[in-house]
Amino acid sequence: VTRGLEVLKNVPCETICGHRTPLLVNTGLETEIHRALEHGAEGIGLYRTEVSFLLHDRFPSEREQVDIYRRQLEAFKGRPVTMRTLDIGGDKALPYFPIEEENPFLGWRGIRVTLDHPEIFLAQVRAMMKASVGLNNMRILLPMISSVGELDESLLLIRRAHRELSDEGVECRMPPIGVMIEVPAAVYQVDALAKRVDFLSVGSNDLTQYLLAVDRNNARVSSVYNAYHPAVLQALAIVAKAANKAGKPVSICGEMAGDPAAAVLLIAMGYNVLSMSSSNLLRVKSVLRSMRLDQAQQLLAEVQQMETSQETEACLDRALQLMG
Ligand code: PEP
Ligand code: MG
C-alpha cells in the first residue's frame, strides 16, 4: 500500500462537500483479490473472466468455473462483483482456441465470439449464477457490444440460463446486467442500450483505441493514444449524461479511472462509480477527498473548452498542483 495513504483505506471516497463515489477494482488473477481488499476496495467493478481461461489448457467446465467465480464472490461478500463474460480475441487469444485474423481488434472479439458459440456463453453465465447462490452480489457485464441486436440476443441467452437453472431447482436471483460502452457505435446508441440494462460501464481503453483509430498496444503510435483527447472526453460526457437521464448507474473501468486527474473530470461528468487497479485506489481517493464537487465541475467546464489533449493535460496539471 502506497506509503502515507494507508490511513485512507477505511474512509469513504467522498469530496469535502460529501459527494460519494464508490471506488471498485479491476481483477483477473486470484492474487488480485487479496491486494484489492488490502486497498479497501468497495467491490469489483470488472472481473476479467478471460484471465482464468488463459490459465487453463482447455475451456474450463461449468463446474470448474463455478469454483473460480465463487472465490471472487465470497471474498467480496456483501459487496458487488461485476463479472464480465468472456472477452477473448483482440490481443487475448486462448492457446486452445486460436483465432487468426489480419485485424484482430476489428475482428472476432468479445461478445461476437460468444454469441457465435452460445454453448460457451451459456455455460459461463450458468456458472456465474450458480456461484452466486446465497451471496447475491454478482452482476454480469457484456463486452464489446456494438449494436442493440447483440445486446438483445445476449439478454435472451441470460434469461434462458436463468430459466434452465430454476427448472433444475437452483434458486438464484436474476443478477443485474450491464453493458460495456467501449465501441463508438455504443456511444451513439447509449439511450437504446441504457433502457435495456441495469447499469453501464465504460471501457475507456477500447473506447480510446476505437475513437482515435489507434492500436492500444502499438508503441509506434502510443503518442496518438490519449484519453484526454477532446473527442474522447466528449464521448465520455455524452455517456454519463445519457445514463444519468435514464436513471442507470454508470461506471468507468478503463485505466483512465485510476488516473487522479481523470477521476476528477469523471465525477464531474456524472460517473457514479470508478473501477481501477488496486494500486491506484488510494491515490484517487486522496485527490477526490481533497476537493469539492463544484471545483471538479468548474475544472471540467474549462477542459471542455480546450481543443487539444496537450492543453487539457497542462490545465489539469496546474489545477491539481494548486490543490496540493
Ligand atoms: C476497456 O476496454 O477499457 C476495458 C476495461 O476492458 P479491457 O481493457 O479488458 O479491454
Ligand atoms: Mg475493453
pLDDT at 2: 64
Nearest ligand 1 atom to alpha carbon 206: 2
pLDDT at 4: 85
Pinpoint the alpha helices (H) of 76-221: 111-116, 118-131, 148-167, 184-188, 190-194, 204-211
pLDDT at 148: 98
Binding site membership of 258 for ligand 1 (Cβ less than 6 Å): no
Q: Give residue 143 CA to ligand 2 midpoint distance, Å.
A: 7
Digitized pLDDT (tens) for each residue of the chain, 324 residues in all: 667 899 999 999 999 999 999 999 999 999 999 999 999 999 999 999 999 999 999 999 999 999 999 999 999 999 999 999 999 999 898 999 999 999 999 999 999 999 999 999 999 999 999 999 999 999 999 999 999 999 999 999 999 999 999 999 999 999 999 999 999 999 999 999 999 999 999 999 999 999 999 999 999 999 999 999 999 999 999 999 999 999 999 999 999 999 999 999 999 999 999 999 999 999 999 999 999 999 999 999 999 999 999 999 999 999 999 887
Distance CA 48, CA 30 (A): 11
Structural contact between residues 42 and 279, judged by C-beta atoms closer than 8 angstroms: no
Q: Give residue 18 CA to ligand 2 midpoint distance, Å.
A: 31
pLDDT at 173: 92
Please identify which residue in the block is written with the cell numbers 460501464.
201
Binding site membership of 60 for ligand 1 (Cβ less than 6 Å): no
Q: Whose CA is nearest to atom 10 of ligand 1?
A: 206
Q: Give residue 169 CA to ligand 2 midpoint distance, Å.
A: 35
Binding site membership of 209 for ligand 1 (Cβ less than 6 Å): no
Binding site membership of 254 for ligand 1 (Cβ less than 6 Å): yes
CA distances 292 to 11, 42, 228, 289, Å, are: 17, 21, 22, 8
pLDDT at 1: 62
Q: The pTM is what?
A: 0.97
Binding site membership of 89 for ligand 1 (Cβ less than 6 Å): no
Give the DSSP H or E segment for 264. Answer: helix 260-269
Binding site membership of 256 for ligand 1 (Cβ less than 6 Å): no
Q: Whose CA is nearest to atom 8 of ligand 1?
A: 205
Distance CA 94, CA 53 (A): 7
